[in-house]
Structure 1
Amino acid sequence: MLPDTPAKALIFDMDGTIVDNMRFHDDAWERWYGGHGLPFERATFSAQTAGMAIPDIIGPHFPGADVAELDRLAEEKESVYRETYRPHVAALTGLVGLLDRARSHDVPMAVGTAAAPPNIALILDTLALRERFTTIVSPSQGYRGKPHPDMFLAAAERMGVAPGDCIVFEDAPNGVEAARRAGMRAVAILTMLDAGAFAGFDNVVASVKDFAALDGHPALRFG
Structure 2
Amino acid sequence: MASESPVRALIFDMDGTIVDNMRYHEDAWEHLHKAHGLPFDRESFFLHTAGMAVREIVGPLFPDASEDEIAALGKEKELFYQQIYRPHVAAMPGLLELMARADAAGVAMAVASAAPPGNIALVLDTLGLRSRFTTVIAPSQGFRGKPHPDLFLGAAERMGVPPESCLVFEDAPNGVEAAQRAGMRAIAILTMLDAQAFAGFGNVIASAPDFAALDGLAALRFA
Following superposition, which runs of at least 4 residues in structure 1 exceed 4 angstroms of deviation? none
* 2:171–2:192 Cα contact (<8 Å) kept: yes
User: Equivalent residues in 2 for 1:114-129 (5 A)?
Assistant: 114-129=114-129
Q: What amino acid is the match of 2:216?
A: G
Q: What amino acid is the match of 2:179?
A: A
Identity score, percent: 66
1:215 CA drift (Å)? 1.3
| Separation of aligned partners in 1, 2:7 and 2:186 | 11
1:125 CA drift (Å)? 0.3
Q: What amino acid is the match of 2:160?
A: G
1:48 CA drift (Å)? 1.6
Q: Normalised by the size of structure 2, how large is the TM-score? A: 0.98
1:46 aligns with 2:46: yes
**Residue in 1 that maps onto 2:81:** 81
| Separation of aligned partners in 2, 1:104 and 1:93 | 19
Deviations 1:68-102 (A, max 9, x none): 22111101000000000000000000000000000
Partner SS state of residue 221, structure 2? coil
| Separation of aligned partners in 1, 2:219 and 2:199 | 16
1:175 CA drift (Å)? 0.2
Stretches of structure 1 that go unaligned for 5 or more consecutive residues are none
For these two proteins, the number of residue pairs brought into alignment is: 223
1:8 CA drift (Å)? 0.2
1:54 CA drift (Å)? 1.1
User: Equivalent residues in 2 for 1:32-181 (5 A)?
Assistant: 32-181=32-181
* 2:54–2:74 Cα contact (<8 Å) kept: yes
1:213 CA drift (Å)? 1.2
Stretches of structure 2 that go unaligned for 5 or more consecutive residues are none
**Residue in 2 that maps onto 1:15:** 15
Partner SS state of residue 187, structure 2? strand
| RMSD value, Cα | 0.9
1:5 CA drift (Å)? 2.5
Q: What amino acid is the match of 1:96?
A: L
* 1:206–1:219 Cα contact (<8 Å) kept: no
**Residue in 2 that maps onto 1:192:** 192
Q: Normalised by the size of structure 1, how large is the TM-score? A: 0.98
1:212 CA drift (Å)? 0.7
Q: What amino acid is the match of 2:48?
A: Q
Deviations 1:154-196 (A, max 9, x none): 0000000000000000000000000000000000000010000
Partner SS state of residue 151, structure 1? helix
Q: What amino acid is the match of 1:112?
A: A
